[in-house]
Structure 1
Amino acid sequence: MASLEQRMSAFLRPDLQAMLPYVVQPSAGYVKLDAMENPYTLPLALQRELGERLGAVALNRYPGDRVEDLRRALARHAGLPEGYALMLGNGSDELISLLALCCNRPGASVVAPSPGFVMYAVSAELHGLNYVGVPLTPDRFDLDEPAMLAAIETHRPALVYIAYPNNPTANLFDDTIIERVVQAAPGLVVIDEAYQPFSSKTYLDRLTRHEHVILMRTMSKFGLAGVRIGYMMGRSSLIEQIEKVRPPYNISVLNCEAALFALEHETEFARQAALLRAERERLIEALREMPGVLPFPSDANMVLVRMPDAERSFAHLKQRGVLVKKVSSIPALANCLRLTVGTAEENDLMIAALRESVA
């Protein structure tokens, strides 16, 4: 009788067996500033109100009309243009996976700037698409226009991803270059606005210029990372086709109700976003004053920073109980850390530890 190892070797995809898993850092006991989460919880009164709402949800029923209520509420919240439709996903990760599934034809490619959101590459590889990462410019982490256009011409990608702002570099790409990339793309272009609550710009006012562009957002950075609601907007005829691969009950009734509740209290989340934008600027100013430390511009709730010795600073932060993201293994980000913007108190702890690490 064959062993489990023999069965896996014989029947699981070889490329899957060769892949490395997505690893989440253990964070228990740390000030958690490694995953771009909103650090604020709801005020106590709203927590109680939400608890009552969730307690009344019909857990014995599959998700139904309430999901349609969420779709309509998000359409109003986002300002969905006429002739466009909105599709819900279990976080942006599921939407990225479904897009890859839709475009999985022989020889299909995905093009995205690099470094960028890791799930663009992961979803492409899992669905058998060729992933092409195009390096950003080394000085400003902007789109390399000649390289992007060359990759599009060579690979004729089914999907082009442009994060606006980008992760992990936190910057907005040049709008003129984005437009040239969009015009050159033979397939679909996805503008990923995961960090839109913290950004000074949005692509929404340009969405209707190009019928092959999809605008993707998430409620994670809105303040609901644990609720797992992503959504994307595109031409109705295009979204209609992508909807065919969406699982029928991909949004749970609890997640749906929590998202609707948040949209009803969006002023509270807007207040939190404003606090984080102010804290981001305070953090950048503090980093600029540290010897040998270079913070890069940010339009997100994170700051990419080049340290004199990222390994030393990362270890010292952990010793002081502060967890950040070490991205220095990425060639373009040598000696870089990615810092999530936290509360004023959390940022004070991080700033003090960083100062000690470069003293």
Structure 2
Amino acid sequence: MAGIEKLLHRVSPSVRALSAYDSSRPRRRIKLDGNESPFSLSGELRSEIARVAENLPLNRYPDPNCEWLKKAVSERTGTDSSGIVFGNGSDELIQILIAAFCGESETVLVPAPTFSMYALTAQVLGKKVVKENLTPDFDINPEAMLAAMNAHNPDIVFLASPNSPTGNLLSPGKVEAVIAGAPGIVVVDEAYFSFCGKTHVALMKKYENLAVMRTFSKIGFAALRLGALFMNPELAAQAEKVRLPYNINSFTQAAARVFFENPGVFEENINIIKSEREKMFQTLGSIDAIKVFPSAANFFLIQFNGAKTAGEVHRALIEKDILTRNFPDTDMADCLRVTIGLPEENREFEESLRAIISGL
């Protein structure tokens, strides 16, 4: 039998050079780190899901094509059902896109900062990653992006709008300039669409190289792991070749019906989050020694400029049983990302943050 060192030597160099994405977090009473919805499902909706689950034929594979779900999503978004691809969360869709469409230059172009899974997944699959910095207000620099596309001929460009972890919408005209100038596919990740209502779906009729991603994770179904990709049907057919069979389990498909049959419940929760977003922006903006960036999503990016560092504040909040997202050993080490929680959680966070910064 080969020794462990010999076996480890067989790990691809691109994987050996990486650090695993760390989604583990300490458990705390107030969880403001994951950009999930703070609202649990009501007892009525839980009972409805339980009723549906009770009748699932667990001895059978799930619907491989998610036919009911595809029809429901198509009707709600006004997109062609033959151009919809489902993934086990957006993470799998990112993997599918890179595996299917990164075959000419084997290069992915991403702005910086943005969602880390675009670059990480590309590197895992042995692709080259090119990063182009956003402007100081976190918008696209179209001239720089076009120059990068001319220099590197990327197969895929990933853009997130609203962007994560910054929270801002990218300028629509600048996004379109990138789509128009891209040699390959441009993926616009609209994970936070529900909190801003701004979409690029209509541009798909004008640009065949545009794909749009959405997720159920931010509106109350993070545990289901369900993402949707909208793209040209001919391109979707290629993506389907690398999608694993039965990737969306029967329970997820059945539970997703609850959303489509009870949209008002989720829309009410989204409106509460949007209202809290306005309150928090005003309150946090009055605290000295921090900068709060405007957000069109369900979270805020906060930069620390005073005596307290982001790391110190992060640890102090944990001691107060409040968990936020920090970015150690990155260009954003002076920032925290804070998910908008329940109203009472937000008030406690604001008070705790003010006390920590004041040294109370």
Q: Same fold (TM over 0.5)?
A: yes
Match of 1:182 in 2: 179
Q: Could you say what secondary structure the match of 1:263 adopts?
A: helix
Q: If the length of structure 1 is used for normalisation, what is the TM-score?
A: 0.95
**2:170 alignment partner AA:** F
Quick check: 2:166–2:300 contact (8 Å CA) kept in 1? yes
Match of 2:293 in 1: 296
- Gaps of at least 5 residues in structure 1 are none
Match of 1:231 in 2: 228
Match of 2:155 in 1: 158
| Alignment deviations for residues 157-201 of structure 1 (CA, whole Å, 9 cap, x no partner) | 100111011000000111111111111100001011000110142
CA distance in structure 1 between the partners assigned to 2:23 and 2:281 by the alignment: 26
- Gaps of at least 5 residues in structure 2 are none
Shift of residue 237, structure 1, vs aligned partner: 1.2
Q: Could you say what secondary structure the match of 2:121 adopts?
A: helix
Match of 1:324 in 2: 324
Match of 1:143 in 2: 140
Shift of residue 105, structure 1, vs aligned partner: 2.3
CA distance in structure 2 between the partners assigned to 1:155 and 1:66 by the alignment: 36
Q: If the length of structure 2 is used for normalisation, what is the TM-score?
A: 0.95
Q: Decide which of 180, 192, 199 is 2:189's aligned counterpart.
A: 192
Shift of residue 42, structure 1, vs aligned partner: 1.1
Shift of residue 335, structure 1, vs aligned partner: 1.6
**2:279 alignment partner AA:** R
Quick check: 1:104–1:128 contact (8 Å CA) kept in 2? no
CA distance in structure 1 between the partners assigned to 2:126 and 2:6 by the alignment: 23
Shift of residue 207, structure 1, vs aligned partner: 2.5
**Given the superposition, is the C-alpha separation of residues 112 and 66 from structure 1 closer, same or farther in structure 2, using an over 3 Å criterion?**
closer
**2:243 alignment partner AA:** R
CA distance in structure 1 between the partners assigned to 2:225 and 2:23 by the alignment: 16
Deviates more, 1:304-313 or 1:245-254: 304-313
**Given the superposition, is the C-alpha separation of residues 51 and 84 from structure 1 closer, same or farther in structure 2, using an over 3 Å criterion?**
closer
Match of 1:204 in 2: 201
Shift of residue 83, structure 1, vs aligned partner: 8.3
What is the total number of aligned residue pairs between the two structures? 355
Match of 1:125 in 2: 123
Match of 2:267 in 1: 270
**Given the superposition, is the C-alpha separation of residues 84 and 256 from structure 1 closer, same or farther in structure 2, using an over 3 Å criterion?**
closer
Q: Could you say what secondary structure the match of 2:230 adopts?
A: strand
CA distance in structure 1 between the partners assigned to 2:341 and 2:329 by the alignment: 24
Shift of residue 14, structure 1, vs aligned partner: 2.2
CA distance in structure 2 between the partners assigned to 1:83 and 1:344 by the alignment: 38
CA distance in structure 1 between the partners assigned to 2:181 and 2:229 by the alignment: 22
Q: Could you say what secondary structure the match of 2:159 adopts?
A: strand
| Alignment deviations for residues 7-56 of structure 1 (CA, whole Å, 9 cap, x no partner) | 222x2212212210011232323311101000101111111121111111
Q: How does 1:52-67 map to 2 (within 5 A)?
A: 52-64=51-63, 67=66
Quick check: 1:200–1:299 contact (8 Å CA) kept in 2? no
Shift of residue 106, structure 1, vs aligned partner: 5.6
Runs of 4+ in 1 over 3 A off after TM superposition: none
Quick check: 2:14–2:125 contact (8 Å CA) kept in 1? no
Match of 2:215 in 1: 218
Q: Could you say what secondary structure the match of 1:190 adopts?
A: strand
Q: How does 1:66-145 map to 2 (within 5 A)?
A: 67-80=66-79, 82=80, 85-105=83-103, 107-138=105-136, 140-145=137-142
Q: Give the superposed CA RMSD.
A: 1.6
Q: Could you say what secondary structure the match of 2:297 adopts?
A: coil
Q: Could you say what secondary structure the match of 1:339 adopts?
A: strand
Quick check: 1:88–1:231 contact (8 Å CA) kept in 2? yes
CA distance in structure 1 between the partners assigned to 2:81 and 2:226 by the alignment: 23
Deviates more, 1:102-111 or 1:56-65: 102-111
Shift of residue 334, structure 1, vs aligned partner: 4.6
Q: Could you say what secondary structure the match of 1:272 adopts?
A: helix
**Given the superposition, is the C-alpha separation of residues 330 and 56 from structure 1 closer, same or farther in structure 2, using an over 3 Å criterion?**
same
Quick check: 1:191–1:214 contact (8 Å CA) kept in 2? yes
Q: Could you say what secondary structure the match of 1:216 adopts?
A: strand
| Residue 172 of structure 1 pairs with residue 152 of structure 2 | no
Match of 2:47 in 1: 48
**Given the superposition, is the C-alpha separation of residues 328 and 213 from structure 1 closer, same or farther in structure 2, using an over 3 Å criterion?**
same
CA distance in structure 2 between the partners assigned to 1:55 and 1:245 by the alignment: 32
Shift of residue 65, structure 1, vs aligned partner: 7.1
**Given the superposition, is the C-alpha separation of residues 84 and 251 from structure 1 closer, same or farther in structure 2, using an over 3 Å criterion?**
closer
